[in-house]
Structure 1
């Protein structure tokens, strides 16, 4: 597996997107915040399950 500048830039962009999403969630009332965190959890779990498998796990 190779790691290059494009990989690092993509990781930085995803991290910034996640941080922006978390900031928006934190500004919501508690009940809406809980639902938004649950939705974010579901989305991240789907991405993790759909991600590439390296066979070492």
Structure 2
């Protein structure tokens, strides 16, 4: 992944976190859980890192 793509993903994550933080407290847990599930799906579907 290029640095531009990594930067874009980082910005997307920060934007999602900002949106979550603006929600009422009662809704944040659900939003964080959904974000967690999405990130976990991305990690599980990513190709293995063979450089490690």
Q: CA deviation at 1:31?
A: 1.4
Distance 1:16 1:45 in 2: 18
Which structure 2 segments of 5+ residues have no match? none
Secondary structure (helix, strand or coil) at the match of 2:7 reads helix
User: Which of the pair has more CA radius of gyration?
Assistant: 1
For CA contacts below 8 A with separation 6 or more, give which structure has more relative contact order.
2
1:44 partnered with 2:39: yes
CA RMSD of aligned residues (A): 1.6
Q: 2:19 aligns with which of 21, 24, 27?
A: 24
Structure 2 length as normaliser, TM-score? 0.89
Q: Provide the aligned length of Structure 1 versus Structure 2.
A: 52
Structure 1 length as normaliser, TM-score? 0.82
Instruction: Kindly provide the CA deviation profile for residues 3-37 of structure 1, in whole angstroms up to 9, marking residues without a partner as x.
Output: 7xxx0000000000000000000000111111000
